[in-house]
Structure 1
Amino acid sequence: MKKYEIFQGIIYINSTFNNTISTLTDLEGNTISWVSSGILGFKGPKKSTSLASQYISEKISHFAVNKNIKIIDIYIKGISIGKEVLLRIMNNCGLYIRSITDITPLPHNGCRKKKRRRV
C-alpha cells in the first residue's frame, strides 16, 4: 500500500436514486480508491438506502485514514437520501473536512418546447 506524503485528498460522491458511488482522489485527480453500494453487497432497491450510504462513508473514510490523508474536500453530485448521512459519518471518522461543494447539474432553461401541431 502506498502511503501519501501529502495529507490532502478529494472525495467525490455521486448519489442517485438507484446507487451511491464514492471516489477518493488526490489533489491532481488521480483515483486512490472507490466504493459503491453494490461492492458492499447491497442489491436491488437496498442500494439507494441511507444504510448503504453509511457503510460507504465508513469504508471510504477508512481508506483515507489508511493512506495517511487527513484533510479532505467533498464534492457531492446528485439527489438522494444518503447525502446527509455520508457527511455526518465522514465528520465523525476523524477526517478534517475543509470544504463541501454541491456540483449537482441544474437545468437553467430546460428543453425547447415542441412545435404546435398543424391539422
Structure 2
Amino acid sequence: MAEQKPVVRKKKKAARQVSTGCAYIHASYNNTILTLTDAEGNVLAWASAGHCGFRGPKKATPYAASVIVKNAIDKVQNAGLKDVHVFVRGVGQGRESAVRSLNANGLNILSIKDVTPIPHNGCRPPRSRRV
C-alpha cells in the first residue's frame, strides 16, 4: 500500500488593517469596474459587473454599479477601510451611481476626482483623397 503524504496547508494571510484608501471606478459604455486599494495602490478588492453576473447591456447600468460596490465593500470588510479618495474614469452610466453607492455602503468619501483621459490634439486626421 502506498504511503500517503500529510496535507500541507498554507497559513492564511493576516488581513492588514487599512483605514484610508482609494476607490478607482472605470465606467465604460460596456461595463463598470471598481477597484479598492490602500494608500500605496495595493489592491484590496475589485469587482466588475460581468463578474457579478450581469450580461450584455445590463453591465453598464446604474443598478449594476451599485451591486458591484456592495460586492467589493463586502470583500474588504475585514480590512477596516473607512475613508476613500474616489477616482472616476470613463463616460458610462454607472459613474454617479457607483459614487453614491460608496457613500451609502458606509465609506466616507474624502475627495472625488475625474481622471477620464482627454486627447490634447486628437488623433491624426485621415489623408486627403486622391481621385
Provide the TM-score with structure 2 as the length reference.
Answer: 0.82
Tell me the residue number matched to 2:69. 57
Q: SS of the counterpart of 1:89?
A: helix
Letter matched to residue 16 of structure 1: S
Letter matched to residue 92 of structure 1: A
Tell me the residue number matched to 1:95. 107
Q: Does 1:81 align with 2:93?
A: yes
Which stretches in structure 2 are left out of the alignment for 5+ residues?
A: 1-12
Q: Does 1:24 align with 2:14?
A: no
Comparing 62-71 and 8-17, the one that deviates more: 62-71
Q: Is the 8 A contact 1:11 1:73 kept in 2?
A: yes
Deviations 1:27-72 (A, max 9, x none): 1111111101111111111111111111012222333443101111
Tell me the residue number matched to 1:48. 60
Deviations 1:63-88 (A, max 9, x none): 34431011111111101111111111
Task: Write the distance in 2 (CA, Å) between the matches of 1:39 and 1:52.
Answer: 11
Question: Identity of counterpart residues, as a percentage?
Answer: 42
Letter matched to residue 19 of structure 2: F
Which stretches in structure 1 are left out of the alignment for 5+ residues?
A: none
- Higher-Rg structure is 2
Q: Is the 8 A contact 2:18 2:79 kept in 1?
A: no
